[in-house]
Structure 1
């Protein structure tokens, strides 16, 4: 029996390693967002500073581990085997749930996921115990609901407070410093730097190192008694130091941003480490207690009263965890993906939008636009003009490739640090993820980064992320509840099967994610094109962008056309359903392509815009019409197949399959010609297209004659005629796209 539970402990620690990896990938956005977004230093430097903060924070961490021991359940009422069921279920659920969110690039709260997993597992086991106790136990005896309720409250509180203060503080900061902040920084920079640095030090003392192993009660009391004195000395000292840095021509804003990055990374590792290793350590502590103190008592009768005591975490576990977290930070592509989501939603300039639009976002934009217009009109013209001058972006100081400037990055870090430290001192369980993300969203709104052209996309993104936080809580509770039940009643077989399932899901997630990264849009080219200020280079980049997108569309059209025809001929509803899903995805994607192309045109010189923009607009229209024609083929074919109506006759299937293969190959040849960007073979390609159009016209005439002779054939005949007509349109539109692209690419 001891060997069995030892194997479970080893298995839990193996899962914990993966959980550390996915946890760091998710929470990296908390401390990397501002430094990377503002380009305060090179990517390598930012990662090194964050890595040092993580390692120090993890190595000195000790507090908060008790939440996994007795924060949610009352261990004195649970037996050893029941506690092991709960803790194993939590680890299995957590690693998969966080990996799903990381793969989607959605930041979520690791604290919320762990608390609600513990709550779900405890609730499952508590139900079993109350039923078995014949009324001697009730759920209130077994579950500590106060912690879960405080986390739910913290979601609402931290989201609203962080967004509100992020907006207000950034607006005031921008009014003071403007986008061209050199002159203002000369006069107010030392004070701003001194205040910001003092705030970050306050955060480190009250949040980052609050529960560290070397923070004894005497040191805590000393800091508490002399808080005002400490902060006063820090403010004076750092203000003088920042003034000296300014005289030495050192950018003090970069110092503030990098120090804030270190502070948030340290706090993350010091306080959130429990979310990843708290459960394994609780399991390990339970096992050692059972081994040494059971004295022949069976696992199903040994109460875990020892878990009511505070945790004493061995230093080897802390150092090992810190090393793993630093390694993951440097190597995880998913961490960079989560950071990218936050940066896309907060960046200053227009660009490629990650999210689409939603009815709620559109309604909010309409309401806000109307109310804002009334408010602006109420402001005296001179005041309005002065305020607009403070938000003039023509002379913005922005590092090359940065999403926003150093003023906003400093506000994000300082304000997030202050809010988290304030919440901690007031014993409010604020989430680091929620605060840092919503401060960034509020500051981007105040900076007028959410313009009329991008607001609906940004709001949709914010709603999606916030919705994901609530989904995390519900999913964590329900999944862990079911997994706990399966482990308790299924025993060893259930553990083996669930372990295999988790391994499969993680491996599959990596494969799917790598595949997704391969087929994802060329982000580097898009960023180059939208950040470019050279008119001559702008046309070269725009040509390359349109060529790549048209080639991808032709390749996609070739594949999807073949899929639709095959599905209709073989009466495969599943094939047609998949095709329809792919069509909707492609249509949304190409709307994004058109939008990026339009922004690219704005970078052209007046001459190039006048001569070339019409060709790009026409090409985009032809490409969009191809998508519409593809959809008009798939919709009636899907409906016809779904209703199980009569299929095509065998000779029609054979005949049309041959020409459909020719159309698919023609679209593939178009893709190769556009990708090569060469004039050779152009006339032959056009000639092939015209031949296909004539062949389709002949089939159409034969089909109409066939329908007149057989009245029972009308339903499938109408679908077939639609397919033929739209096939003609696809070929004709592809020819037009080739001609227009040739003109657009010509020097």
Structure 2
């Protein structure tokens, strides 16, 4: 067995581990609304989410995000160099994501894989230039600088845009429905459900159908040309159906919205983020096949053919979907990460996970000052009317849901719309960041952050955002360092690092482990 076949086997084993730690972190994006509102028993929520994950994985386009992103130009690297980069990326990714899972912090699996590729490629590219094996004079010539800047800009764009729009839509929704839902749901519930599910269906069309391997160009063209008609039809049918079910069977309209949104978001995340976990190993395997067929030395075989798109075999998508589905059911860390987001958006009081700090206190003071000015502009009568609409005394009790179905519906609806618009306009929005910040903006607008808890909640949000930035920096530095070790230590260094990573994962997931 040659050394590079050992490397490929290690990468395929790491892919399974990466699927486990990856979906444990990504689960927060599609579980937080359903879990926080307790729309159904947890096993029902997990069942719906698991079905969405499996469908999303199986019907994914399977296109290797690594190749599409174009973080580095593979034509500058030999097969031997590429394998070092891929090993460094996967070993780093599995440890980094598991660290975030252990801390209960959500992060972006896309940002982690991109900056790991960047870090390893920069280090190996620097060594390639130093050996005089390329005409490039600077490592920047080997890297797609525009893509890196785009991703960083996307982080800040996602945070600001999602938080603001989530807050605005939630404020308007609460003003309309208040916390006393029964009478208003009977009157407006079917209409609200129709609007929300139409937005969610639009998201499914844009994000799901566009990425599906089963959607032909003709079908995509027809859908694009008739999107308005389709959405109008969905709105009318859903509104009438919900109205009929509400009157005959007593269906709560918002429960349908939350469960449908959970399935759709789970499907979209699986379809799009799956390649973050299996893209590198599959590309490595196909690189190995190309090298074997060439008969050229590993250090002399340049990887020009990786510049194109590489499709994942359907069987591997099926296996990946099964691994992600099982993980969703059994992972305690998925629950831990989800609980962090739920607690930050909790309507009532409770034990705060994060400590306050100077920056959080400064932001809260500035927000209170802005609120006083806004209240003065509104006038006394309007202030009283708004205060009455936002009263929730005794409606959300300790031990009950963290927030109600109105907020859960807004979280899913706004996140779906923003991600769909971002996809259509090709904006660099992070789906993880959008989902989390919409939930936080809605929490603020819903007055979930009271005078006593505001500093702790703001501190928690700042910690999560800081963690996102550290994901990029940590992924870049750690992957570059691991690539350096493997480059000089060879395949057996990679084997040792793989075994160390597996030991850490075992210790982290063993029964009774708490930190």
Deviations 1:403-430 (A, max 9, x none): 0000000000000000000000000121
Which stretch of structure 1 is more off in the superposition, 90-99 or 301-310? Answer: 301-310
> Using CA pairs below 8 Å that are at least 6 residues apart, which structure has the higher relative contact order?
2
Could you tell me how far apart the structure 2 residues matched to 1:70 and 1:309 are? Answer: 11
Give 1:514's aligned residue.
Answer: 512
Deviations 1:566-598 (A, max 9, x none): xxxxxxxxxxxxxxxxxxxxxxxxxxxxxxxxx
Could you tell me how far apart the structure 1 residues matched to 2:119 and 2:445 are? Answer: 39
Offset, 1:224: 1.1
Give 1:262's aligned residue.
Answer: 263
How many positions carry a matched residue from both structures? 513
Could you tell me how far apart the structure 2 residues matched to 1:270 and 1:94 are? Answer: 19
Runs of 4+ displaced beyond 4 Å: 397-400
Written as runs of structure 1 = structure 2, the 5 A alignment for 1:318-337 is: 318-337=317-336
Could you tell me how far apart the structure 2 residues matched to 1:176 and 1:479 are? Answer: 49
Give 1:470's aligned residue.
Answer: 469
Which stretch of structure 1 is more off in the superposition, 207-216 or 403-412? Answer: 207-216
Deviations 1:250-282 (A, max 9, x none): 111000000000000000100000110011111
**8 A contact 1:179–1:390 mirrored in 2:** yes
Give 1:289's aligned residue.
Answer: 290
Give 2:494's aligned residue.
Answer: 495
SS in 2 for 1:516: coil
| Structure 2 length-normalised TM | 0.97
Could you tell me how far apart the structure 2 residues matched to 1:398 and 1:46 are? Answer: 22
Give 1:112's aligned residue.
Answer: 111
**8 A contact 1:57–1:209 mirrored in 2:** no
Given the alignment of the two structures, is residue 199 of structure 1 paired with residue 199 of structure 2, yes or no? yes
SS in 2 for 1:300: coil
Q: 1:433 to 1:257 in 2, by over 3 A?
A: same
**8 A contact 2:62–2:312 mirrored in 1:** no
Could you tell me how far apart the structure 2 residues matched to 1:440 and 1:399 are? Answer: 20
**8 A contact 2:120–2:483 mirrored in 1:** yes
Give 2:174's aligned residue.
Answer: 174
Which stretch of structure 1 is more off in the superposition, 218-227 or 128-137? Answer: 128-137
Which stretch of structure 1 is more off in the superposition, 257-266 or 363-372? Answer: 363-372
Q: 1:211 to 1:63 in 2, by over 3 A?
A: farther
SS in 1 for 2:352: coil
Given the alignment of the two structures, is residue 216 of structure 1 paired with residue 216 of structure 2, yes or no? yes
**8 A contact 2:101–2:334 mirrored in 1:** yes
Deviations 1:370-405 (A, max 9, x none): 231232133222211111110010263789621000
Written as runs of structure 1 = structure 2, the 5 A alignment for 1:633-672 is: none
**8 A contact 2:166–2:441 mirrored in 1:** yes
Given the alignment of the two structures, is residue 89 of structure 1 paired with residue 88 of structure 2, yes or no? yes
Written as runs of structure 1 = structure 2, the 5 A alignment for 1:248-397 is: 248=248, 249-292=250-293, 294=294, 296-394=295-393, 396=395
Give 2:183's aligned residue.
Answer: 183
Given the alignment of the two structures, is residue 34 of structure 1 paired with residue 33 of structure 2, yes or no? yes
Could you tell me how far apart the structure 1 residues matched to 2:502 and 2:396 are? Answer: 48
Which stretch of structure 1 is more off in the superposition, 105-114 or 397-406? Answer: 397-406
**8 A contact 2:342–2:402 mirrored in 1:** yes
The structure having more radius of gyration, on CA atoms, is 1
Give 1:124's aligned residue.
Answer: 123
**8 A contact 1:80–1:299 mirrored in 2:** yes
Deviations 1:476-513 (A, max 9, x none): 000101111111121133213322321232233335x8
Give 2:149's aligned residue.
Answer: 149
Could you tell me how far apart the structure 1 residues matched to 2:513 and 2:195 are? Answer: 47
Could you tell me how far apart the structure 2 residues matched to 1:14 and 1:480 are? Answer: 18
Offset, 1:354: 0.7
**8 A contact 1:112–1:473 mirrored in 2:** yes
Could you tell me how far apart the structure 2 residues matched to 1:324 and 1:339 are? Answer: 19
RMSD over equivalenced CA pairs, Å: 1.6
| Structure 1 length-normalised TM | 0.67
Could you tell me how far apart the structure 2 residues matched to 1:484 and 1:233 are? Answer: 53
Could you tell me how far apart the structure 1 residues matched to 2:237 and 2:90 are? Answer: 46
SS in 2 for 1:312: coil
Q: 1:258 to 1:396 in 2, by over 3 A?
A: same
